[in-house]
C-alpha cells in the first residue's frame, strides 16, 4: 500500500483518483440530465390543467301556485 505514496507513483495515483471521481460525476450528471429531459418531454405531452370549478348551489323558493298545484 505504501508504494502508492512513493514520490514517483503518488502523482499517478492522485491523477487516477481524480479521473475516477470525474468519470463518476460525469456518469451521474449524464443520467440525471437524460431523466430530466425525459420528464420534461412527458410533461409537455400532458394536457394543460383545467381551471378549478368552484361548487355552486342555488336555492329557489316557489309558492304552490308557481309549482302549479
Partner 1 sequence: MYQRMADTGKIIIGIWMAAIIYAMFLVIPQYVGLGDAGRIIIVHVPTAWVTTAAYAVSAWYSIKYLRKRAIGDDASAVAAAEVGTLFCIFATVTGSIFAEVVWGTFWNWDPRETSILVLLLIYAAYFALRSSIDDGERRRRLAATYNLFAAVTMPFLLFVAPRVADSTLHPNCAFIQGSKCEGIELRQDGAKIGQLGDVVVELKSLVAEGDGARATVEVRMPGLRDTALLSPSIDGEGKAADRPEFPGQQFRMVLVDADVASGVVRVNMQAPGTGLLSNQRTLWVFLASNLGFLFLAIWLFRIRATVLHIQAALAPWEVRA
Least distance from C-beta 58 to partner 1, angstroms?
A: 25
DSSP state of 52: P
9 binds partner 1, rule: CB under 8 A: no
Query: What is the grid cell recorded at 44?
Result: 409537455
Q: Indicate the length of the chain as a whole number.
A: 69
3-class secondary-structure state, position 64: helix
Q: Do residues 10 and 4 make contact, with C-beta atoms less than 8 angstroms apart?
A: yes
Q: Which is nearer to partner 1, 4 or 32 (CB)?
A: 32
Least distance from C-beta 51 to partner 1, angstroms?
A: 9
4 binds partner 1, rule: CB under 8 A: no
24 binds partner 1, rule: CB under 8 A: no
Amino acid at each position: 500500500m505504501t508504494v502508492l505514496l512513493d514520490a514517483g507513483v503518488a502523482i499517478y495515483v492522485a491523477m487516477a483518483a481524480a479521473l475516477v471521481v470525474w468519470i463518476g460525476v460525469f456518469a451521474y450528471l449524464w443520467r440525471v440530465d437524460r431523466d430530466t429531459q425525459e420528464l420534461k418531454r412527458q410533461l409537455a405531452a400532458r394536457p394543460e390543467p383545467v381551471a378549478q370549478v368552484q361548487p355552486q348551489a342555488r336555492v329557489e323558493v316557489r309558492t304552490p301556485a308557481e309549482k302549479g298545484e
